[in-house]
Chain A
């Protein structure tokens, strides 16, 4: 009798723990998915903006055709990265980021281009999208790191294996974006 009660209590505790661990993992997974969705929105926005921008600057920039072609090429690769793999997407998008930042530098050299209202609006939209990609990538990587850590720790890793939770890849940033400056505060 006593043995039976102890057994039931133990099984109940185990079930409760499994539910708790499962829910914890699920919550983090949703967070990561949400973070990814945020990046995805910005990436799509960038893909949509580029053809407009290229069309409006083409006429002004006769001597910079190569820069423009690189942007177009990088965009078409980013739109079709070949797989849904985070690493492949990140690689293609990082190349696009590089090509775009070169274009942005070049545009600075053409004052009449910058004065054009339409180009100015497009450039601003592109700049803000670039920044939003950078900031949401940070958020995605933070939540993914949290999720991956929890996934690999004992005993949660047993639950993760049982319910087929798998590790997510980080969205690696281009090299120059990695430094984080800090201010030294002495209180």
Chain B
């Protein structure tokens, strides 16, 4: 399948809007239900939407710098004396020419694993970060393959899509937690006051109302939790598709499939976990930063919860090989 990149980018932007709209709708409906249950008008809805909006704005505006700070990345300056860093800058510039995006800022993070990630939601201001392990262990061609994959994410607007989706999923899960907590504390409060009241009078009309509110809150919490988890699974599925597409784009950018597939083979052989990463940014890396071994299992559950397709599947696809032949080939080494 030949790929029309303009179409891919437009589709991604469209998907971002649709998913965001869908999630905002869910959050809005939850707000209205809670408003109704609490007998307020638009207060809860307003607060929820405001929180979500702020969360999205923060992750779009300063997401990149937060991510770079959280992994302890250091910027590579133009006049660096280290040969590997000079080479890295050259490679990033070559790939920016090839992909037609503005040259991203380049960062290096201290970690012995082979990994890299890209961030930045705009085409003219983006960031690429690689581990020191990558600089040590990959040669020029392999590094080019990895950088091409990362710039493909920026070019295809994957970072925008994934940032929005993660922010919204986070919002929904936060909402589930909040309504659960509120329901719990309301329940406790009404248990004590209700118990006190029962002794003094036999009127239980008010109690019924409160119990309905609490039950409503629990239902909202449960529904939000389920929706949150389902959307998390959806996020993983989307992320895996973006990885395959970024691999294909990388091959087109470098014009040599071996560059990326050799890099992935080395990553497969050096399967350490990247220490300085957390779940929130896993989808940005070139290979799953945690549980690399888990991703290789034939376990359906493990596959459902990973941001990346299994490395072997990716290598087989890039080299147009049968996965079984590839496994045989690797086990003979």
Contacts and interface: CB of A to CB of B under 8 A. Distances in A.
Nearest to B97: A135
Contacts of A135: 94, 97-98
Interface in B219-246: 241, 244-245
Contacts of B94: 128, 131-132, 135
Interface in A106-149: 117, 120-121, 124-125, 127-128, 131-132, 135-136, 138-139
A105 interface: no
B91 A128 contact: yes
Interface string B306-322: 00000000000110100
B318 A183 contact: yes
A181 B93 contact: no
B255 A180 contact: yes
Contacts of A154: none
Interface in B78-101: 83, 86-87, 90-91, 93-94, 97-98, 100
Nearest to B254: A181
Contact of B93 (A117, A124, A132, A184): A132
Contacts of B257: 181, 183
B195 interface: no
Query: Which of B87, B100, B241, B255 has the most A CB atoms < 10 Å from its CB?
Result: B255
Interface string B1-31: 1110000000000000000000000000000
A124 B90 contact: yes
Query: Which of A136, A179, A181 has the most B CB atoms < 10 Å from its CB?
Result: A181
Interface string A146-182: 0000000000000000000000000000000101111
A186 interface: yes
Contact of B140 (A127, A138, A185, A187): A127
A180 B98 CA distance: 13
B97 A186 contact: no
Interface residues of A, number: 24
Contacts, number: 62
B252 A180 contact: yes
B100 A139 contact: yes
Contacts of A124: 83, 86-87, 90
Interface string A13-45: 000000000000000000000000010000000
Contact of B255 (A121, A179, A185): A179
Contacts of A182: 2, 248, 251-252
A120 B82 CA distance: 12
Nearest to B251: A183
Query: Which of A135, A179, A184, A187 has the most B CB atoms < 10 Å from its CB?
Result: A135
B77 interface: no
Contacts of B247: 183
A139 B98 CA distance: 8
Interface of B: 1-3, 83, 86-87, 90-91, 93-94, 97-98, 100, 140, 241, 244-245, 247-248, 251-252, 255-257, 317-318, 320
Given A139-B97, A183-B317, A186-B1, 17 more contacts: A117-B83, A121-B86, A124-B90, A128-B90, A132-B97, A135-B97, A177-B255, A179-B255, A180-B252, A180-B255, A181-B251, A181-B256, A182-B248, A183-B320, A185-B1, A185-B244, A185-B245
